[in-house]
Structure 1
Amino acid sequence: MSSNNVTRDIVAKLWNLCHILRDDGITYNEYVTELTYLLFLKMLAETGREDCLPQEYRWSALDSREGLEQLEFYRQLLLDLGNQKKVADPVILAIFTDAQTRLRKPTNLKSLTDAIDRLDWFSAREEGLGNLYEGLLEKNAAEKKSGAGQYFTPRPLIDCIVRLVQPQAGEVIQDPAAGTGGFLVAADQYVKNQTDDLYTLTQEQGRFQRNEAYRGLELVPDTHRLCLMNLMLHGIESVVMCGDSLSPDGESLGKADVILTNPPFGTKKGGGRPTRSDFSVTAETSNKQLAFVEHIYRALKPGGRAAVVLPDNVLFEDNTGRKLRQQLMDLCDLHTILRLPTGIFYAQGVKTNVLFFTRGKTDRGNTKAVWVYDLRANMISFGKTRLLTVADFAEFEAAFGDDPLGKAPRTDQGEEGRFRCFTREEIAARNDNLDISWLRDTSDDPEDDLTEPEEIAEAIATHLGNALREIEIMMEELTNGADSR
Structure 2
Amino acid sequence: MATGELARGAVTTRDIVQKLWNLCHVLRDDGVSYSEYVVELTFLLFLKMMEETGNEQRLPQPYRWRELARREALDQLTFYKQLLHDLGNAGCTKNATVRTIFTDARTRLREPANLKALTRAIDRLDWFSAREEGLGNLYEGLLEKNASDKKSGAGQYFTPRPLIDCIVRVIKPQPGETIQDPAAGTGGFLVAADRYIKDATNDLAKLSAKAAIFQRRHAYKGLELVVDTHRLCLMNLMLHDIDASLEQGDTLSPDGQALGKADIILTNPPFGTKKGGGRPTRADFSVTADSSNKQLAFVEHLVRALKPGGRAAFVVPDNLLFEDNTGRRLRTWLMELCDLHTILRLPTGIFYAQGVKTNVLFLTRGRTDSGNTDQVWIYDLRADMPAFGKTRPLTLADFAGFEAAFGDDPNGKTPRTDEGETGRFRSFTRSLIEERNDNLDIAWLRDAEADAEEGLTEPEDIAAAIIGHLRAALAEIEALSQELEVPEPDIAGGTAAE
Q: TM-score range by the shorter chain?
A: over 0.9
Tell me the secondary structure at the aligned position of residue 240 of structure 1.
strand
CA 1:468–1:144 in structure 2 vs 1: closer, same or farther (change >3 Å)? Answer: closer
Partners of 1:143 and 1:465 lie apart in 2 by 17
For residues 380-424 of structure 1, the C-alpha deviation after alignment (integer angstroms, 9 at most, x for no partner) is 111121110111100111000000000001000111111110000
Q: Tell me, what secondary structure is at the counterpart of 1:443?
A: helix
Give the distance between the partners of 1:263 and 1:219, measured in 2 at CA: 11
Aligned: 1:249 with 2:266: no
Which shifted more, 455-464 or 181-190? 455-464
Percent identical pairs in the alignment equals 71
Deviations 1:246-267 (A, max 9, x none): 0000011110000000000000
Aligned counterpart for 1:279 among listed residues 285, 293, 306: 285
Q: Counterparts of 1:226 and 1:395 in 2: how far apart (Å)?
A: 33
Alignment match, 1:363: 369
Corresponding residue for residue 374 of structure 1? 380
What CA RMSD, in Å, does the superposition of the two structures yield over aligned residues? 2.1
Q: Which digits, 9 at most, give the CA deviation of each residue in 1:129-178, with x for residues without a partner?
A: 00000000000000011110012100000000000000000000000000
Matches within 5 A, 1:196-215: 196-215=202-221
Structure 1 residue identity aligned to 2:229: T
* RCO higher in structure (CA 8 A, sep ≥6): 2
More deviation in 456-465 or 61-70? 456-465
Could you say which residue in structure 2 is the equivalent of 1:145?
151
Cα offset for 1:464?
4.3
Q: Does the alignment pair 1:62 with 2:68?
A: yes
Q: In the TM superposition, what is the alpha-carbon distance from 1:467 to its structure 2 partner?
A: 9.3
Equivalent position to 2:479, from 462, 466, 485: 462
Q: CA shift at 1:239, angstroms? A: 3.1
Change in 2 beyond 3 A, CA 1:43/1:456: farther
Mapped to 1, the partners of 2:187 and 2:472 lie a distance apart of: 27
SS state at 2:12 partner: helix
Residues 250-399 of structure 1: pairs in structure 2 closer than 5 A? 250-399=256-405
Shift of 1:441: 2.2
Change over 3 Å in CA distance of 1:107–1:348 after alignment to 2 = same
1:48 is displaced (CA, Å) by 1.0
The amino acid of 1:230's aligned partner reads N
- Letter paired with 1:257: D
Q: Residue 55 of structure 1: SS of its match in structure 2?
A: coil
CA-CA distance at 1:64 after TM superposition: 1.0
The AA in structure 2 aligned to 1:441 is D
Tell me the number of residue pairs that the alignment of Structure 1 and Structure 2 aligns: 466
Instruction: Specify the alignment match of 2:27 in structure 1.
Output: 21
Instruction: Give per-residue Cα distances to partners, 1:436-485, cap 9 Å, x unaligned.
Output: 1111222369x98x99xx9998655115457999xxxxxxxxxxxxxxxx
- 2:291 partner amino acid: T
State the alpha-carbon separation in 2 of the partners of residues 467 and 198 from structure 1: 43
> Structure 2: how far apart are the matches of 1:408 and 1:455?
38
Of 234, 244, 255, the residue aligned with 1:238 is 244
SS at match of 1:305: strand
Where 1:85 maps in the other structure, the secondary structure is coil
**In structure 1, what is the equivalent of residue 455 of structure 2?**
none
Q: Is 1:174 aligned with 2:180?
A: yes
Aligned to 1:441: 447
Q: For the residues of structure 2 that align with 1:257 and 1:193, how far apart are their CA atoms?
A: 20
> Following the alignment from structure 1 to structure 2, what is the Cα–Cα distance between the partners of residues 103 and 239?
32
> Is residue 194 from structure 1 mapped to residue 211 from structure 2 by the alignment?
no
Q: Is the contact between residue 178 and residue 218 of structure 1 (CA under 8 Å) also seen in structure 2?
A: yes
- d(CA) in 2 for partners of 1:206, 1:432: 43
Unaligned runs of 5+ in 1: 470-485
Instruction: Report deviation, 1:348.
Output: 1.6
Structure 2 residue identity aligned to 1:243? G
Deviations 1:223-243 (A, max 9, x none): 100000000001101131100
The amino acid of 2:427's aligned partner reads: C
Deviation at 1:29, TM superposition (A): 2.1
Native 8 Å contact 2:344 2:381 kept in 1: yes
Which of 228, 232, 249 is the matching residue for 1:226?
232
Given that 2:375 and 2:430 are in contact with CA atoms closer than 8 Å, whether structure 1 keeps it comes out as yes
Q: Which moved more, 1:22-31 or 1:339-348?
A: 22-31
User: Contact 1:274–1:283 at 8 Å: present in 2 too?
Assistant: yes
Counterparts in 2 of 1:336 and 1:152: CA distance versus 1, 3 Å = same
Aligned equivalents of 1:82, 1:37: Cα separation in 2: 11
Pick closer, same or farther for the CA change 1:363–1:351 going to 2, 3 Å.
same
Tell me what 1:419 maps to: 425
Deviations 1:174-201 (A, max 9, x none): 0000000000000000000110110000
Please identify runs of 4+ aligned residues in structure 1 that moved more than 6 A: 454-457, 466-469
Query: 1:15·1:136 contact (CA, 8 Å) conserved in 2?
Result: yes
Does structure 2 conserve the Cα–Cα contact (< 8 Å) formed by 1:334 and 1:356? yes
User: The residue matched to 2:157 in structure 1 has which SS?
Assistant: coil
> What code does the residue aligned with 2:235 have?
M
**Corresponding residue SS for 2:414:** coil
2-side partners of 1:11 and 1:252: how far apart?
37
Amino acid at match of 1:116: I
Task: Give the structure-2-normalised TM-score.
Answer: 0.91
| 1:461 maps to amino acid | E
CA separation in 2, counterparts of 1:247 and 1:468? 21
Contact 1:245/1:251 (CA < 8 Å) preserved in 2? yes
Deviation sequence 1:261-307 (CA, Å, 0-9, x none): 00000000110000101111001100000000000010000000000
State the SS of the aligned residue for 1:150.
helix
Looking at structure 2, the residues matched to 442 and 464 of structure 1 have their Cα atoms a distance apart, in angstroms, of: 29
**Contact 1:342-1:352 within 8 A present in 2 as well:** yes
The one-letter amino acid of 2:479's match is T
Contact 1:309–1:353, Cα closer than 8 Å, also in 2: yes
**Match for 1:395: what amino acid?**
G
Contact between 2:273 and 2:484, CA under 8 Å: does it hold in 1?
no
Q: TM-score, normalised by structure 1?
A: 0.93
Q: Which runs of 5+ in 2 are unaligned?
A: 453-463, 487-498
SS of the equivalent of 1:275 reads coil
CA–CA distance in 2 between the matches of 1:163 and 1:58? 39
For 1:29, what is the secondary structure of its paired residue? helix
For 2:348, the aligned partner's letter is: T
From 50, 55, 69, give the equivalent of 2:56. 50
How far did 1:204 drift? 0.6
Q: Quote the Cα distance in structure 1 between the aligned partners of 2:116 and 2:485.
A: 46
Q: Mean alpha-carbon deviation: is it higher for 84-93 or for 199-208?
A: 84-93
Q: Which stretch of structure 1 is more off in the superposition, 347-356 or 22-31? A: 22-31
